[in-house]
Structure 1
Amino acid sequence: MTKLNQILAVEKGVKADVQRKVTDVYHTVQKAPLLSGISRTYQPIDDEGEQLPPESTRVQVKVEDAVKDAADALTRLFDVTATKDVANCSAKADVVVDGRVLLEGVPVTYLLFLEKQLVDLRTLISKLPTLDPSETWTRDENTDTWRTEPVKTTRTKKVPRNHVLAEATEHHPAQVQVFTEDVVVGYWTKIAFSGAVPQRRVNELLDRLTKLQDAVKYAREEANSVEVADRRIGDALFGYLLG
């Protein structure tokens, strides 16, 4: 008996072949000369008159035959599509990861949808911001974010100082050089916070996603292996239409 995956394998080719044949029929019946024929014979008034050969042109295309050709091609497409769509209604499979059934009896059409969505989800997860690996991060329960260890730094202030180069005398004032000195006036304690995630978390999510993607693919293959009954839809439709 035919399997659903076999129908899916030929469907694309059938569609292309039918489209070509129907298009050919459409263009053919638009060519008026192909549908036209003629027959002419000549009879002189008397037996002594000039004898001319008969002329004839045969009809090359008959509309009824052209429509029948289109109907024959479309019948194959209608039957294949009906067989596929009816089978899709019963084609189901479980999504199983590590022996655990995550989703039960999922239709093959939804499995196809899910497969595409998981590809987009992988793009999102692989681009998630991660914590700076040069820092040591711990979980901060108060803010529900990640935090670094406190780093203490000094705050300095420039303070002017005088340096006496020469003491004052009876005849000369003192020679003084003015300069500034950095003096510690306080301390900064810095703690950085981040809403990013550790790289190991991204790796964990990607590993799980890979398992899930594989499970969905396996389920789709299993669902597509269901046996199908060929549907004969085209004959009924065109039997009525052309009858």
Structure 2
Amino acid sequence: MAKLNQIIAVEKGVRSKAQQDLVTAHQSLQKPALLAGISRTYQPKDEEGEQLPPESTRVQVQAEDVLRETAATLTRLFDVTATKDWANCTARADVVVEGRTLLTAAPVSYLLFLEKQLNEVNAFVRKLPVLDASEAWTQDPSTDAWRTEQVRTLRTKKVPRNHVKAEATEKHPAQVEVYYEDVPVGYWTTVKFSGALPARRVNEILTRIERLQHAVKFAREEANGAEVTDERAGDAVFGYLFG
């Protein structure tokens, strides 16, 4: 008895061959010359007339034969696809992660859906904002965010100062140069807040996603290993259509 994964493996090839055969059959039926035949003989009006040999062309393509061959090709495709789809209704497996059963008897179609969605969740988590590693962060219950310790910084202000380069004399005024001096005027106390996530938290989620992805793939392979019953849908369909 075949297994579901074996049916899945051959389905693509059967589908491709059926499509090629259908195209070939369609093309042959579109050539009137292949479907046409003729047989004719010549008889002169009298015995002294010119004698011409008979002419004939055989019919090369019988539409009924093409129907029969097409039915045979498509019957194989219909049977393989039916076998797969019928089996998919019963092929199931548990999704188990680290000894914990997350999903019981999940069907193959849902496992395939889950695989695709987990890829998208993985990409989403990898883009989550992460806390700046150069800061020391702690959780702040009052804001439900992360915060740093207070940092006190000096605030200065530029104050102009005069530097006398030369004292005034009776003939010349004093030579004064203006410069600016940074004078402390106060202190800033700064606390930074962030709604981002610690890198550890993001890495934990990614690890769980990868574990679940492996578990889902394992479950899909297990479900696809189920034995199948060959379905004979093609005979019923084409027995009605072309019978």
How would you bin the TM-score normalised by the shorter chain? over 0.9
Instruction: Give the aligned partner of residue 232 of structure 1.
Output: 232
Bigger mean CA deviation after superposition, 54-63 or 41-50: 41-50
Counterpart AA for 1:47: E
* Identity %, equivalent residues: 66
Q: 1:78-106, CA deviations, whole angstroms, 9 ceiling, x for partnerless residues?
A: 11111111110001111000011001111
Bigger mean CA deviation after superposition, 171-180 or 149-158: 171-180
Distance (whole Å) between structure 2 residues aligned to residue 82 and residue 178 of structure 1: 95
Distance (whole Å) between structure 2 residues aligned to residue 104 and residue 193 of structure 1: 43
In 2 relative to 1, CA 240–188 (structure 1 residues): closer, same or farther, beyond 3 Å?
A: same
Instruction: Give the aligned partner of residue 9 of structure 1.
Output: 9
Counterpart AA for 1:72: A
Distance (whole Å) between structure 1 residues aligned to residue 112 and residue 150 of structure 2: 50
Is there any run of 5+ residues in structure 1 with no aligned partner, and where?
none
For residue 46 of structure 2, give the secondary structure of its aligned residue in structure 1: coil
Distance (whole Å) between structure 2 residues aligned to residue 46 and residue 165 of structure 1: 146
Counterpart AA for 2:107: P
Distance (whole Å) between structure 2 residues aligned to residue 66 and residue 238 of structure 1: 13
Instruction: Give the aligned partner of residue 33 of structure 2.
Output: 33
Is 1:43 the counterpart of 2:43? The answer is yes
How far off is 1:183 after superposition? 1.7
Is 1:121 the counterpart of 2:121? The answer is yes
Instruction: Give the aligned partner of residue 22 of structure 1.
Output: 22
Distance (whole Å) between structure 2 residues aligned to residue 199 and residue 85 of structure 1: 44
Q: 1:64-89, CA deviations, whole angstroms, 9 ceiling, x for partnerless residues?
A: 11111111111111111111111100
Distance (whole Å) between structure 2 residues aligned to residue 9 and residue 97 of structure 1: 27
Instruction: Give the aligned partner of residue 54 of structure 1.
Output: 54
In 2 relative to 1, CA 184–58 (structure 1 residues): closer, same or farther, beyond 3 Å?
A: same
Bigger mean CA deviation after superposition, 77-86 or 196-205: 196-205
Distance (whole Å) between structure 2 residues aligned to residue 213 and residue 79 of structure 1: 32
Distance (whole Å) between structure 1 residues aligned to residue 55 and residue 162 of structure 2: 129
Q: 1:91-133, CA deviations, whole angstroms, 9 ceiling, x for partnerless residues?
A: 1111000011001111100100110111111111122221111
Distance (whole Å) between structure 1 residues aligned to residue 9 and residue 143 of structure 2: 55
How far off is 1:163 after superposition? 5.1
Bigger mean CA deviation after superposition, 120-129 or 71-80: 120-129
Counterpart AA for 2:47: D
Corresponding pairs, count: 243
Counterpart AA for 1:63: A
Distance (whole Å) between structure 2 residues aligned to residue 169 and residue 31 of structure 1: 121
Matches within 5 A, 1:78-93: 78-93=78-93
Q: 1:123-147, CA deviations, whole angstroms, 9 ceiling, x for partnerless residues?
A: 1112222111111111111111111
In 2 relative to 1, CA 143–44 (structure 1 residues): closer, same or farther, beyond 3 Å?
A: same
Distance (whole Å) between structure 1 residues aligned to residue 195 and residue 207 of structure 2: 22
In 2 relative to 1, CA 38–170 (structure 1 residues): closer, same or farther, beyond 3 Å?
A: closer
Counterpart AA for 1:225: G
Distance (whole Å) between structure 1 residues aligned to residue 167 and residue 154 of structure 2: 36
RMSD (Å) for aligned C-alpha atoms: 2.0
In 2 relative to 1, CA 21–168 (structure 1 residues): closer, same or farther, beyond 3 Å?
A: closer
